[in-house]
Amino acid sequence: IQLPVLWALFQSVSSTPAPKTGSFFWLQLGSPDPYFVLPILAALFTFISSWMSTASMGKDQPGFAKAMPYIFPFIILFSALAVSSALSLYWVATNAFQVVQTFFLQNPFKARAEEKAKELAELERKKAIKKTLRKAHKRRK
């Protein structure tokens, strides 16, 4: 869904004089970030949001889903280096919002704790079964 938004934003920045010459802090919105702050932030927030999304899924993930948090930020980084600062600013803002949203809606830390508790409960259940079977076996003798 973001691709049409990015394309529209790119077209509006490159064809409209106001955003092309506009500025935001140190940025000229129509040209790439000269200090590489936004591309690095965009890659960082992309990594965090991807990691949080895949971490909340648990261990049952396909291979590509495990690699996505490490590959996708590089794609965003190199793309953000080449496009105007307005697009990089959009990536930073949306990915920062996504990090906050993912934390509150799919808290991966809580999901991992629940998964560990479930594994521990299953281990305890298996121990109890083994112990009961050993006692029953001793009683037969």
The model's pLDDT over 65-105, given as tens digits with 9 standing for 90+, comes to: 777 888 889 998 998 898 888 888 888 999 999 899 988 88
**pTM for the full model?**
0.72
Give the span between the Cα atoms of 71 and 85, in whole angstroms: 22
Other Cβ atoms within 10 Å of 82 Cβ, number: 10
CA dist list (Å): 139 to 22, 126, 129, 136: 85, 20, 15, 5
Q: Terminus-to-terminus CA distance in the chain, angstroms?
A: 69
List, for residues 53-70, the tens digit of each pLDDT value. Answer: 777 666 666 777 777 888
Domain positions in the chain: 2-106, 109-141
* DSSP state, residue 33: -
